[in-house]
Amino acid sequence: MSGFDLTGLTASFDGERVIGPLSLSVNEGERVGLVGRSGAGKSTLISLIHQQVNRTSSLVPQNLGLVNALPVFHNVYMGRLDANATWYNTLTLIRPFARDTREITMLLDELAMPEKVWIPAASLSGGQRQRVAIARALYRKSGLLLADEPVSALDGPTAHLVMKLLRERFQTSVIALHDVELALAYCTRIVGIQDGQIALDEPSEKLTPADIMPLY
């Protein structure tokens, strides 16, 4: 099952509540776009959901979580570390297996950067780093995607390419997006966050950008 039903979600920083208490239920097959201004609590909500459903999800955090010293291949491979034996992972660090190399290179090809497979993550541009984190999430092959601004560093055409891929590969998703047009185009449901609470929750087809803009 890739859906979830969470109640009583709360988070505080320095004694000040930034999220909740709120409840969020997402059905299998739903693609939820989280919208709202910076600081509204979208990133915190993504983190809270991930803590609750950890092993069943693929995560693209806003800080991307890449290991700079490792090549792109190993950063993507980390998406499936828990699916393989320790000896296999250790050997892969030294000499990757052809099957994994082929699969990861194909993923990178879909993201228009196959030539970067052995380049250290430290030498990549912001947009390339974002695509590596997306490739890692895709490689995990989870039914549920949790992504925090996954296309913020990408140009228009590349952002659309990535959003289409995410829509195709993940049955269910919760994606925090600053771009309202992208949220409406690629998500089936819009959840608006304001001051740590859900201020809007509607099917995308019922909304226009003008309905969402008051949240910003």
Query: What are 113-150's pLDDT values in tens digits?
Result: 999 999 999 999 999 999 999 999 999 999 999 999 99
Paired residues of 202 in beta bridges: 190
Instruction: Kindly list the distances between the CA atom of residue 60 and the CA atoms of 76, 80, 164, 196, 215, in Å, as whole numbers in the listed order.
Output: 12, 14, 16, 21, 24
State both tokens at 122.
């430290």
List helix spans (H) across the chain.
Answer: 42-53, 72-77, 86-94, 98-110, 126-140, 156-169, 180-186, 209-212
Collapse the DSSP code of 192 into the 3-class scheme (helix H, G, I; strand E, B; otherwise coil) and give the result: strand
Q: What is the pTM of this model?
A: 0.94
Any idea how long the chain is? 216
Terminal alpha carbon distance of the chain: 33
pLDDT score for 73? 98
- The residue with tokens 């989870």 is 142
- Domain positions in the chain are 4-215
Q: 40: pLDDT confidence band, cut at 50, 70 and 90?
A: confident
Which tokens in the block code for residue 143? 């039914």
Q: What is the pLDDT of residue 15?
A: 83
Domain 4-215, classified CATH 3.40.50.300, yes or no? yes
pLDDT at residue 55 tops 90: no
Question: Residues of 196-207 as b/e, b for ≥16 C-beta within 10 angstroms?
Answer: bebebeeebeeb
